Amino acid sequence: MTDLEAYVAQPGRDDLVKQVREKINELGISYIYYQFISVTGRIVGKGIPADHWERTAERGFQLVYGSTANLFIDRHGDYIGYGPEAMELVGIPDPETFCQLPWDKR
């Protein structure tokens, strides 16, 4: 079992995922912005429709290395080392940290 599989299988996590679904429904949230910190300290993220919450909580969301590090391009404007089709990372949300962003009450 991988560390990610062990994290998703933790006792009580399913209940937390259900509690988040109830909060999503109660607040009428339509998109979830999953935030994470890049290796250079920038806050970055990915927006996913709230309808996919349970699937994302179980399987995570895919990232490319470039989303966690600064991108570099060659003289032709092409990314160095990886393209948009590269799948190298997965982000698993923490149900405990779910909250509605204060600037958008939808």
Assign domain 3-97 one CATH number from 3.10.20.70, 3.65.10.10, 3.40.50.1970, 3.40.980.10.
Answer: 3.10.20.70
Q: What percent of the chain has pLDDT over 90?
A: 45
pLDDT tens figures, 19-30: 999 999 999 999
The residue ranges of every structural domain in the chain are 3-97
Evaluate if residue 97 carries a pLDDT over 90.
Answer: yes
Rg (CA), the chain: 16
CA distances from 72 to 31, 36, 57, 67 (A): 30, 20, 31, 12
Evaluate if residue 63 carries a pLDDT over 80.
Answer: no
**pLDDT band with cut points at 50, 70 and 90 for residue 66:** low
> Cα–Cα distance between 45 and 34 in angstroms, integer?
5
Terminal Cα distance for the chain, rounded: 38
Q: Which of 13-17, 25-29, 75-79, 84-88 is predicted least confidently?
A: 84-88
Q: Which residues contact 59 (CB under 8 A, 6 or more apart)?
A: 90
